[in-house]
Amino acid sequence: MPDVRTPARPHAPGNDTAGKDGGPSASALLDFVRRTAADPALIASLPLDPEGRTWIRLDGPGGSEAWLIGWPPGTGTGWHDHGGSHGAFATATGELTEQSLTAQLPTEGWKTLELADGVDRERTLRDGRGRAFGPHHVHQVLNTSPDTHAVSVHAYYPPLPLMRRYSRTGQVLRLEEVERPEEWS
């Protein structure tokens, strides 16, 4: 994959770009992904594959990790979290559906968890729409279109230390695996 770089936005004291640890806040990441998703030349630079997702790593603001991702029709991530990182994503083209849990899950000490009723949320994000999320966010992102690619921009801070992958049957969530960054090459 080609490596495309975008300039990081400098932190200005007194605005909402810094999180508690000095890194970019979730709202600063949301601003970044929305601005990046509005860059037609960058979006057009992503090679699209009809069979699987494609991606290009970007330089996010303040040391964050960012990705431009192409989604063929009918593809998705499966249920996952971001290893304690907060983040944001925005759809550049097409439409993505996010299914998420409103409950904060413990990060250690369980393999199977029964979810309470009413914890499910679903939202659809079309061209230019995005959302920010906190460090305990569990979700899956889907391109449910039968014939249209979607492209999105994602950013995380701190850079992803790991991702936990889950399976779900009804209200039962099961931890299936923990992925580390060295596995994503």
Q: What is the per-residue pLDDT for 13?
A: 29
Domains delineated in the chain? 26-183 (2.60.120.10)
pLDDT-derived band at 18, boundaries 50, 70, 90: low
Strands, sheet with 139-142, edge to edge from the N-terminal-most edge strand: 112-114, 172-179, 163-169, 79-80, 139-142, 95-101, 120-126
pLDDT in tens, 152-168: 999 999 999 999 999 99
Q: What is the per-residue pLDDT for 8?
A: 28
pLDDT in tens, 113-165: 999 999 999 999 998 999 999 999 999 999 999 999 999 999 999 999 999 99
